[in-house]
Structure 1
Amino acid sequence: MERVAAVIVGPTCSGKTKLALAISDKVNSEIISADSRQIFKLLNIGTAKPSKQELHSVKHHFIDLLNPDEEFNVSKFEKESLKIIEDLFQTDKLPIVVGGSGLYIKTLIDGIIDVPDTDPNFRKELLEIRKEKGNEFLYEMLKSIDKQSADSMLPQNWKRVIRAIEIYKTTNQKFSDIKNKNIRTTDFQFMQFGLLWNRQELYDNIEKRVDEMIEMGLVEEVEKILVAGFSPALNSLNTVGYKEIINYLNKEISFEKAIEFIKRNTRRYAKRQMTWFNKDKRIMWIEVDNQSSFEKIADEILYDIKTQEYL
């Protein structure tokens, strides 16, 4: 096996796990989950975590490692994943990275950007500017010093805008230049494959999955987490599917509204995921629909990896 790590990306409900399992059935491999929520115990139904049978069929990494109140970040994911990948190469196994967290995927492939710590005083000054003059003013500030970075974000994403301004102030370098300099290289190849759906068909599948999650006991799962003493304010529970059910349990919205909001917010999340992944021109997109054979797609991906025609 060549030193290649397969990366399966795509929006939620696109069949990433299904494809990863189809590949693992055909080759000695292990799966690395690039999902920032599946790492938490108890968050099963709402994160569409692989079933116990699927978890037993092939070794998965970063599934059920932490309690909901424990911390995990992209830096830890990158460091630990690179070690796992190297260990898999040593045993002639194919690493299969699968997930919808674009930041986790990008950081694993390109590396962490080395930037300075926040200057509390300057941060306070920028927050005051935002309070007085708004997001658009901050955005124009960034645009005047680093147009490339400004073009890569929206004015309402003010935290990223402020961070880019801070970096320029601290280093006298554009954030976009620092990013370009800090792209990491490895002695192996990442081959990225994306699952591309017709938008309406994907949205229909999302609605169906949400209904299935409710039938499987999503409400009871959230109740169990809260009864166990975990705060509803935890970052891990600030997740589509969980936050809406928490609002329902707190009698802030009706059950019907909770389901409606889960479906709406999941569609929006899928759209944001595709916006992120579409920026990466290294991804080879595979058109899929509800009639697609994931076995055949798995064969095609393994052929591409073997011949490296994709590279």
Structure 2
Amino acid sequence: MRLAKRYNTEISSSDSRQVYREMRIGTAVPEPEQLQAVKHHFIHTHSVYDYFSSWECEQQTLSLLEKLFQQKDQVLLVGGSMMYIDAICNGIDEIPTIDEQLRKEVFQQYEAEGLEAMRRQLKILDPVFYEQVDLKNAKRVIHAVEICLMAGKSYSELRSNTKKERNFNIVKIGLNREREELYHRINQRVDIMMQQGLEAEARALFPHRELNALNTVGYKELFEYFAGNISLEKAVELIKRNSRRYAKRQLSWFRRDKTINWFNPEDYDAIVDCIDKQL
């Protein structure tokens, strides 16, 4: 917020879940006064029933940036969704939009036959990507199967992994804290979200839990509680654990990018100095 005001600009969100209007508490969207103080984009602009992928994010964000750069010298891209940020900065291959009926059929197959069956199917449809994907990540395996079936060709054939040139300069700032402090803040935030009504928010979405947007930390654990598989206490414990694990994966991903300048969030002056030197 301070940076947006300093540079008299607007914020484009690259959070893959804050984009959904039905998910407010569990995605920790900015407070109403923050949204009013600085113009934000891609916050509650879509429904969980909409298909919004990394490719859509890239196309819609680039279209927005083209308009904003006619009025602003800088624009802030804020968020921690790895694939979305990578798509905006480096580009992504065009992947076909998955038909909703096909998505439901594949998910029903997964529920009936399990992950191992989906792995076997992927190995047949795309043996190249089968060797590359994390076979323990059900979401990735299922999505690859969906793409193969939708496109009528293998996922690996659609992926060129060619970096696209952008007509704007990109300055990357990464924020991190000491692990103990970071994990404490994550646990604390989960407690606050529960106090704010996350359970009720998730319960309203429970009938639609098969939607891809709802395969999200904070919701899927509560869905297990609503289904009678675990206790509420266990669900909260898992939300905290899975949130910490996700933060760890984020840091591992972003640390591979040597162009990111890392700071503690409190180092405002150093962050500004770093940005100004690269403008």
User: Which category describes the TM-score, using the shorter chain as reference length?
Assistant: 0.7 to 0.9
Q: Which amino acid aligns with 2:181?
A: E
Structure number, greater radius of gyration? 1
Does residue 252 (structure 1) correspond to residue 229 (structure 2)? The answer is yes
Matching residue of 1:101: 81
1:281 pairs, out of 228, 240, 258, with 258
* Cα 1:162/1:256, change in 2 over 3 Å: closer
For the residue of structure 1 that corresponds to 2:77, the secondary structure is strand
- CA–CA separation in structure 1 for the residues paired with 2:157 and 2:213: 33
- CA–CA separation in structure 2 for the residues paired with 1:192 and 1:253: 41
- CA–CA separation in structure 1 for the residues paired with 2:47 and 2:188: 29
Question: Which structure has more RCO (C-alpha within 8 Å, separation ≥ 6)?
Answer: 1
Gaps in structure 1 of 5+ consecutive residues: 1-20, 119-129, 307-311
Offset, 1:159: 6.1
Does residue 23 (structure 1) correspond to residue 3 (structure 2)? The answer is yes
1:220 pairs, out of 200, 210, 218, with 200
- What is the aligned length? 257
Does residue 293 (structure 1) correspond to residue 266 (structure 2)? The answer is yes
Q: Which amino acid aligns with 2:261?
A: M
- CA–CA separation in structure 2 for the residues paired with 1:73 and 1:132: 21
- CA–CA separation in structure 1 for the residues paired with 2:182 and 2:63: 34
For the residue of structure 2 that corresponds to 1:193, the secondary structure is strand
- CA–CA separation in structure 2 for the residues paired with 1:72 and 1:218: 23
Q: CA offsets, 1:41-65, max 9 Å, x none? A: 1211110111101111111111111
Matching residue of 1:54: 34
Asked if the contact 2:54/2:83 (under 8 Å) is kept, the reply is yes
For the residue of structure 2 that corresponds to 1:104, the secondary structure is helix
Asked if the contact 1:30/1:93 (under 8 Å) is kept, the reply is no
* Cα 1:67/1:113, change in 2 over 3 Å: closer
For the residue of structure 2 that corresponds to 1:54, the secondary structure is helix
- CA–CA separation in structure 2 for the residues paired with 1:282 and 1:302: 13
- CA–CA separation in structure 2 for the residues paired with 1:115 and 1:258: 34
Matching residue of 2:168: 188
Q: CA offsets, 1:288-308, max 9 Å, x none? A: 2xxx535424423442343xx
Q: CA offsets, 1:153-207, max 9 Å, x none? A: 54545568989x99xxx79x9888x32xx21002211111111322222111111
Offset, 1:243: 1.4
TM-score (norm 2): 0.77
Q: CA offsets, 1:59-117, max 9 Å, x none? A: 11111112222221111111111111121111024211111111011111111225799
* Cα 1:174/1:134, change in 2 over 3 Å: closer
Asked if the contact 1:41/1:64 (under 8 Å) is kept, the reply is yes
Q: Which runs of structure 2 are paired with 1:147-226 in the superposition (5 Å)?
A: 154-157=134-137, 178-179=160-161, 182-223=162-203, 225-226=204-205
**Alignment root-mean-square deviation, CA:** 3.6
For the residue of structure 2 that corresponds to 1:94, the secondary structure is coil
Q: CA offsets, 1:100-147, max 9 Å, x none? A: 1110111111112257999xxxxxxxxxxx759979x99xx64xxx9x
Asked if the contact 2:224/2:230 (under 8 Å) is kept, the reply is yes
Matching residue of 2:242: 265
- CA–CA separation in structure 1 for the residues paired with 2:226 and 2:179: 31
For the residue of structure 1 that corresponds to 2:28, the secondary structure is coil
TM-score (norm 1): 0.70
Matching residue of 1:81: 61
Gaps in structure 2 of 5+ consecutive residues: 99-115
- After TM superposition, the structure 1 stretch with the greater mean CA deviation from structure 2, 242-251 or 292-301, is 292-301
Does residue 232 (structure 1) correspond to residue 205 (structure 2)? The answer is no
- After TM superposition, the structure 1 stretch with the greater mean CA deviation from structure 2, 195-204 or 40-49, is 195-204
Matching residue of 1:122: none
- CA–CA separation in structure 2 for the residues paired with 1:160 and 1:70: 16
- CA–CA separation in structure 1 for the residues paired with 2:62 and 2:8: 18
Matching residue of 2:46: 66
Asked if the contact 2:4/2:38 (under 8 Å) is kept, the reply is yes
